[in-house]
Amino acid sequence: MTPAEIALLAAWCAALSLFALAGGLLLSGIDRKLAAHMQARIGPPIRQPFIDTVKLLQKENVVPANAIPWLFSAAPVVALVSSVLVLFYIPVASTMPVLGAYGDLVLVMYLLTVPALALVAGGFASGSPYATIGAQREMVTMIAYEFPLAIVVIGVAWRLGAAGISHPFALQSIAANPVWSVTGPLGLAGVFILLVVLAAITPAELSRIPFDTQEAETELAGGLLVEYSGRNLAMFTLAQAAKTLVLAAVIVAVFFPWNLSSFLAMPGLLAQAADLLFFLLKAVLVLFFAVTLVRVAMARFRINELVSFYWVYLSVIGLAGIVLLMADVVAGPLAGVGV
């Protein structure tokens, strides 16, 4: 690469990082506002997450006396960097991912675990019994939802591969060939089931009700983050915001990859702006149904209920979706013979 290309790539990565942070905080503010209205409250302004983050960045870090200082301070940095990095592998609106040639949906799935592992490390390093219990619950939660998440990834990629799509795990291929367009009636039902499974995993990935057992303010006084303050807590807040945008972007890229510029003729810059706004609208709708509506309507699960929900119920539902996709592949040639 030439120096000019390297500078352009660095500038684009910086812009994408800012978009991940700002977009994530915006989605968090919208989520809080919608939840408040659903509970007949006025709620905080949409800009409240920005205000809270700026406040935290101005406050002093407090490191507990019995903590492991270097690990306690490194955990929020790792969580923030890894949360932003995932967005580099995901197509946003009509732009291709910056690092799309170096990773696919499998890599994204594993990178999404890094912020959670950083939270676990920070919880154990804090020396607090509340944080230790929260870290243990976070590990159990990760183990619980990884299997149904793998089912979704494998199911979508397998169906695209069966349709003759090259590189079915690559997000560029998935976005360019929506899985809905390569399936018949049985396949559509299977894809919808996988969408529901991925939507049900999203609150656990974000530690939101009813899957927030690792924080559980009424039980663990904040759990993993009970000892964090100041800039360290601000970095964890920003990491959570970026991860919110990333998870919405994954669902949009896999199941709703369409752009307005594909249907309406618009000039270049206007098309990119319209596609970006359309992407944010899709992200808001995804988070509303996957996170906001769920946390308003449900109470917190116990940790054993959470494990049963993911390992038993959601895994069986996901496998049923894959069976429908397989039946759709088998039924396709049979329908052609019948014609």
Instruction: Give pLDDT, residue 244.
Output: 93
The set of residues, in sequence order, having a beta carbon less than 8 Å from that of 264 and lying 6+ positions away, is: 274
What is d(CA 208, CA 292) in angstroms, rounded to the nearest whole number? Answer: 9
Instruction: Give pLDDT, residue 222.
Output: 63
Burial 270-286 (b: 16+ CB within 10 A, else e): ebbebbbebbbebbbeb
Give domain status of residue 57, yes or no. Answer: yes
Give domain status of residue 159, yes or no. Answer: yes
pLDDT tens figures, 103-158? 788 889 889 899 999 989 988 888 888 888 888 888 888 889 999 999 999 999 99
Give domain status of residue 7, yes or no. Answer: no
Give domain status of residue 215, yes or no. Answer: yes
Instruction: Give pLDDT, residue 228.
Output: 86
Structural domain including 224 reads 15-331
Tell whether pTM > 0.75: yes
Q: What are phi and psi of 39, to 5 degrees?
A: -100, 15
Give domain status of residue 5, yes or no. Answer: no
Instruction: Give pLDDT, residue 332.
Output: 65
User: pLDDT above 70 covers what percent of the chain?
Assistant: 95
Give domain status of residue 336, yes or no. Answer: no
Instruction: Give pLDDT, residue 339.
Output: 34
Q: Which residue is listed with tokens 């769920």?
A: 294
Residue type, 271: A
Number of domains in the chain: 1
pLDDT tens figures, 169-216? 888 888 888 899 888 888 899 999 999 999 999 998 888 888 887 776
Instruction: Give pLDDT, residue 158.
Output: 92
pLDDT at 167 over 90: no
What is d(CA 112, CA 262) in angstroms, rounded to the nearest whole number? Answer: 30
Give domain status of residue 190, yes or no. Answer: yes
What is the band of 63 on the pLDDT scale with cuts at 50, 70, 90? confident
Q: At CA 74, angle to CA 69 and CA 80, rounded to 5?
A: 150
pLDDT at 218 over 90: no
Give domain status of residue 10, yes or no. Answer: no
What percentage of the chain's residues is helix, strand, coil (to nearest 5)? 75, 0, 25
